[in-house]
Amino acid sequence: MAAHYQEAIDFMKEKNALGQSVLSIPEDTSLYFLSKTHCPTRVYQFTPGVLVPGKMTDELISEIERKHVRYLLWSNRISPEYGVARFGTDYDTRLGDYLRKNYREVGPVIKEGVSAEDWTAFIWERKADSETR
Q: Are 14 and 130 in contact (CB under 8 A)?
A: no
Neighbouring CB atoms inside 10 A of 36's CB total 10
pTM of the model: 0.90
The CA R_g of the chain, rounded to the nearest whole Å, is 14
* Rounded CA separation 79/87 (Å): 8
Hey, where are the domains in the chain?
2-127
Question: H helices within the chain, ranges in order?
Answer: 2-17, 30-35, 55-66, 93-102
pLDDT tens string 65-77: 999 999 999 998 8
Predicted confidence (pLDDT) per residue in 35-46, tens digit: 999 999 999 999
The span from the CA of 84 to the CA of 96, in Å, is: 14
Q: Which amino acid is at 46?
A: F
The list of the chain residues with pLDDT below 50 reads none
Q: Considering the chain, what is the average pLDDT of its residues?
A: 91
Residue 82 confidence (pLDDT): 86
CA-CA distance, 132 to 29, in Å (whole number)? 28
